[in-house]
Amino acid sequence: MTSTFWVIRHKPTGGIMPDFHRGTTHWLPLAWQGKGRTRIPKLFLSKRSAKCSARWWVNGPTRAHYINSEWGPEFDGTTTESAPYRKMEDLEILPAHLTIQFSE
């Protein structure tokens, strides 16, 4: 069984966007360059969703804000930190083929 997913590659470093808990806008590909670090890649189900994530990344790190209310935390908007050094032309969307074989 083979499935096709999509990944985002940072062309200058060759790094693939990892899947991690803080969200894709917090990825710092230059911090990982040449350090031999590997993480599970962020797999997107469609090329469109990978492109949307790439656009968010280019805009800069985004944080969600919450306020406490009597019913618990409530969403209070987001802020995005400027990142003019991030460029869309530094990213490429590539297909990734995952093959699963079952052995008995």
pLDDT digit string, tens, across residues 45-101: 999 999 999 999 999 998 888 889 888 888 888 898 999 999 999 999 999 999 988
For residues 87 and 7, give the distance between their C-alpha atoms in angstroms, rounded to a whole number: 17
Sheet of 91-99, strand order: 15-16, 2-10, 91-99
State residue 9's pLDDT score.
94
For the entire predicted model, the pTM comes to 0.80
Q: What is the pLDDT of residues 16-59, one digit of tens each?
A: 998 876 678 888 887 765 555 567 889 999 999 999 999 999 99
Helices (H) and strands (E) in the chain, counts: 2, 5
- Look up residue 25 and give its amino acid: T
Residue 92 DSSP code? E
To 5 degrees, how large is the angle CA 41–CA 35–CA 53? 30
